[in-house]
Amino acid sequence: MIRVLFNKKGGVGKSSLTVNLAAIAASFGHKTLIIDLDTQCNSSAYLNALQNSEQDTIADLFAQSITFHIHRRPAKDFCQATAHENLFIIPGSTRLTEMESELHSRHKIYKLREALESLKKDYDYIFIDTAPALNFYSLSALIAADRCLIPIDCDDFARQGLYSLQQKIAEIREDHNDALAIEGIIANQFLGTANLPKQIIEELKAEGFNVLPEYISQSVKMRESHQAKQPLIHLAPKHKLTQSLVTIFQHLDTAE
The pLDDT of 183-211, averaged and rounded, is 90
* Type of residue found at 154: C
Answer whether residue 11 shows pLDDT above 70.
yes
pLDDT tens digit sequence for 118-135: 999 999 999 999 999 999
Answer whether residue 52 shows pLDDT above 60.
no
| Confidence (pLDDT) at 255 | 67
Between 254 and 151, where is the model more confident?
Answer: 151
Report the percent of the chain where pLDDT is more than 90.
81
| Confidence (pLDDT) at 51 | 64
Answer whether residue 194 shows pLDDT above 90.
no
Q: Is 92 exposed, middle or buried (0-12, 13-18, 19+ CB in 10 A)?
A: buried
Answer whether residue 105 shows pLDDT above 80.
yes
The DSSP bridge pattern shows strands 32-36 and 125-129 to be parallel
What is the residue-averaged pLDDT of the chain?
93
Range with lowest mean pLDDT among 60-74, 106-120, 126-140, 235-249: 60-74
The pLDDT of 3-23, averaged and rounded, is 95
pLDDT tens digit sequence for 205-228: 999 999 999 999 989 999 999 999
Answer whether residue 170 shows pLDDT above 90.
yes
CA trace torsion 198, 204, 209, 210 (10° rounding): 10
| Confidence (pLDDT) at 165 | 92
CA trace torsion 43, 46, 50, 51 (10° rounding): -160
The CATH fold assigned to 2-255 is: Rossmann fold (3.40.50)
The pLDDT of 46-50, averaged and rounded, is 90
The pLDDT of 240-255, averaged and rounded, is 92
Which of 241, 179, 81, 195 has the alpha carbon at shortest distance from 232? 241
Q: How many CB atoms lie within 10 A of CB 156?
A: 11
